[in-house]
Every structure is written in C-alpha cells, then in structure tokens.
Amino acid sequence: MTTPARVAPWPKTARTCYNRAVTPTWTRSSACSGGTCVEVAGTGSAVLLRDGKNPQNVPLAFEPADWADFLTAIKDGEIKP
C-alpha cells in the first residue's frame, strides 16, 4: 500500500459562484507566455481566477482570506509555483 502524496489545503473554498453584478477587472499573470495565462480579479467579496485562453468559462471564486493563505504558502515555499 502506498502513501498518498501530500495535498496542500489551499485554496480551501474554491467555488464557481460570485456576485455577478460586479464587473471584474482582470489582471494577467506576469509569467504568461504563449497564451497559456492565468488571470485574477478581485470583487471585494471574492478573488476570481480564470484560464486566459477560455475567458468565457466560469471563473473559480475564492474567499479573500483563503487566497491570501494560498499566496503566503507559495512565498514561504510550501507550494511550488
């Protein structure tokens, strides 16, 4: 029996619903190359994440605190970008 790989607990609250009355302003990742880009936007109540190649798809929405935990984990080396 093998031990399962460690799965980071971030982001904890990914969902696909958010306040659609707010028009998000999308920012493209600085690591974007060749059209394979991740885009992020904040709405105040959620941080949205989408695939830049398919912007028509519904973005994932995260609680701001969970998004901050995720970024901290990357900066601290707990998660490799």
Q: Is residue 2 part of a domain?
A: no
Q: Note the pLDDT of residue 70.
A: 86
Cα 71 from Cα 18, distance rounded (Å):
20
Q: What is the mean pLDDT of each run of 10 residues along the chain (81 residues)?
A: 41 55 81 81 88 87 89 88 64
How many domains does the structure of the chain reveal?
1
Is 1 within a domain? no
Residue 70 phi/psi, 5° resolution? Answer: -60, -50
**Would you say residue 48 lies in a domain?**
yes
Residue 32 lies in a domain: yes
Measure the CA–CA gap between 56 and 52, rounded to whole angstroms.
9
Instruction: Flag whether 16 is in a domain.
Output: no
Contact 46, 63 (CB under 8 A): yes
Asked if the structure places residue 19 within a domain, the reply is no
Domain residues for the domain of 38 are: 27-75
- Opening angle at CA 10, ends 38 and 77, nearest 5: 85
